[in-house]
Structure 1
Amino acid sequence: MTSTPSASALRAIERRANHKLAILHHVEEVSGSVAATCRYYGVSRQAYYRWLQRYEAEGFEGLKDRSSTPHHSPTATEAEVVEKILWLRQQYHFGPVKITMYLKRYHDISISASGVWRILKKVNLNRLPASQRYKRKETRWKRYEKQRPGHALQVDVKFIEPLGQTGRKKRYYQYTAIDDCTRLRVLRAYPTHDQKTAIRFIDHVLSKLPFNVEKVQTDNGSEFGQSFHWHLIDKGIGHIRIRPATPRLNGKVERSHRIDSEEFYRLLEGQVIDDVNLFQDRLQQWEDHYNYDRPHGALAGITPYERLKQKTQDPLS
């Protein structure tokens, strides 16, 4: 992987070459002694004679810095792999660990996270945008996880504005349910935002999940009011509301909404989606990708569906 030096780098190369030339001239015009000049400039005589040899053979160009990259690097990462790494970084803002997971899962390419980081470092892509960076470890909230599918389901709503609308813009709401144990998700977009819609959504979720739900956890939004609460109770499902102003207690669904913004909605830019049915189809495709294809960092690189199969075969895993 090669890159064109910047203007400042070229100026620095020129400046160092002129410094070497000045040392060569100092011997001829001032000191007349290689040893004295080398002591004066603080360089070794081996370096002086190497520069002199290059200058006599190539002129001023021979004094310019040469690449330290070896002519043959049998362990260097292939250009095709580097291209995939840079694409994942620029397209999805994935970190080294997630890139490693994707390369192994979809391309059967094994590369360490540190190796990915070094490649990103070379092209100044090792730092994510400020909005993508993690907090320091000591300030993160401790993760927890239910051990049984369906033991707890986190539900929340995300306001969305489909792109490409003309005239009076419609408002849509993405209802999201995520299983605490497996991270399986169910998504649905609605043009309304009330308890009737929340009840329709939870019925859709219960019909779609391949396991029984024991408890639903929501925030204190009006859409999760008394009618929604008693609808769950009638179905034999518990309903818990988190404390006000503590969205971290619904952290898995909140984090999944951030993933939606980064990996789904951001990539829809420029596409005209002003039809709720078309948008619903795209959202369903994203739901399927999230559940069946996307490796999940919190699940050690497996997908939510693979996690479900793992739990079904060994509940204690």
Structure 2
Amino acid sequence: MSHRNAPLTELGRLRLARCVVEDGWSICRAAERFQVAPTTAQRWVRRYREHGPAGMVDRSSRPHCSPNRTPTRTERRIIKVRVLRRWGPARIAYLLGLNPSTVHRVLSRYGLARLRWLDRPTGRVIRRITADQPGELVHVDVKKLGKIPAGGGWRKLGRTAGRRNSRADKSSGKQNKYRTPVRGYHFLHTAIDAHSRLAYSEILTDERKETAAEFWLRAQQWFAECGIEVRKVLTDNGSCYKSHVFSGALGPSIIHRRTRPYRPQTNGKVERFHRTLADEWAYDRLYTSDTERCAQFPIWLHHYNHHRGHTALGGQPPASRVPNLSGQYS
């Protein structure tokens, strides 16, 4: 394998071998001319005679035989315990009487090094949904988010102060059976492109079929303005998405796919977006009113689409994956 101090490259080896084989130089003369040991010169001359110029390339340093490699039967036992019990290398090593580093090498060799790559209910390797072009698949979902009472909620102030603010805030005019003020919820409808992770989201009052259909029409228009033609839409089995109203909003040109029941992992991209949304906007800091938090949502969404680095995109924002998107260089 070549390195920075190697005296011979592939071209240098070829020149050395031709000097000996074709020009009649001696091994010692060629070794002195190219500043290598005579044994090294002899090796490249032998390879040139056997394989020609193709023999000058580097060969793998991997041994032909590895007598100390973990037996195949032991490897199968390691994989079986990993898939069935979802244990880490240390616990598997204690069970089978092996070294944890040996178990980790076996798991890495077969692509099972991280537990998050396995589906916990089934133990199978997760097959991730990928899209090669913008608009090939768009994930759609709804997140239910509680409103914040005046003065702040319990997540930032603690349960005592948060409960006190909740009881004092009667702006909604509604009460439950215990005569405690009820604030209600926001419903965040989101559509996110699977290829670019570009997201369109709105804070709406409910999740009825008419609301979901009208939201999709606005989302589709927004994607079209960004130069994205939507071809497939993936949703869960919510009643609003199974309705004829939503199907009519999609139209005949868009294929509607639904996830398997009780399998939110299939719609994982929009689920992960909602988690990021909760961590970085909804509960990121203390909001003294619900209006204040809602006013920050468009600002955060623009930051997410155009400025926030995304891990799945190599640290680049979603807008960088959409050609000629207006504002992506701001």
- State TM-score, norm by structure 2: 0.49
Instruction: Say if 2:237 and 2:261, in contact at 8 Å, map to a contact too.
Output: yes
Q: 1:287 to 1:271 in 2, by over 3 A?
A: same
Amino acid at match of 2:217: D
Distance 1:295 1:230, change over 3 A: same
Which structure has the highest helix share of the two? Answer: 1
**Separation in 2 of the partners of 1:190 and 1:279?**
14
1:304 corresponding residue in structure 2? 318
Secondary structure of the residue aligned to 1:267 is: coil
Match of 1:139 among 118, 122, 139: 118
Quickly say closer, same or farther: Cα 1:281–1:206, change in 2 above 3 A: farther
Determine whether 1:256 maps to 2:273.
yes
Paired residues, number: 175
Structure 1 gap segments, 5+ residues each: 1-134, 312-317
Structure whose alpha-carbon radius of gyration is higher: 2
Runs (4 or more) in structure 1 with deviation over 3 Å come to 278-281
User: Letter of the aligned partner of 1:266 in structure 2?
Assistant: Y
Equivalent of 1:289, from 303, 316, 320? 303
CA contact (8 A) 1:154 1:179 kept: yes
Per the alignment, residue 159 of structure 1 pairs with 144
Partner Cα distance (2:195, 2:284) in 1: 28
Aligned partners of 1:200 and 1:246: how far apart in 2? 26
Matched, 1:221 2:231: no
What is the correspondence of 1:222-241 to structure 2 with a 5 Å cutoff? 222-234=239-251, 236-241=253-258
Paired residues of 1:179 and 1:185 also in contact (CA < 8 A):
yes
Distance 1:271 1:154 in 2: 32
Alignment partners' CA distance in 1, 2:324 and 2:263: 31
In the alignment, does 2:170 pair up with 1:185?
Answer: no
Q: Tell me the percent identity.
A: 29
Corresponding residue for 2:218?
A: 204
Secondary structure at the counterpart of residue 262 of structure 2: coil
1:279 shift after superposition: 4.9
CA distance in structure 2 between the partners assigned to 1:237 and 1:305 by the alignment: 23
Letter in 2 for 1:178: I
**Which residue identity lines up with residue 291 of structure 1 in the other structure?**
N
Aligned-partner SS, 1:217 = strand
Could you list the runs of 5+ residues in structure 2 that have no partner in the other structure?
A: 1-113, 120-125, 151-168, 171-181, 326-330
Amino acid in the other structure paired with 2:315: G
**Contact 1:170 1:191 (8 Å CA) reproduced:** no
Quickly say closer, same or farther: Cα 1:232–1:216, change in 2 above 3 A.
farther
Offset at 1:284?
Answer: 1.3
| Counterpart secondary structure, 2:322 | helix
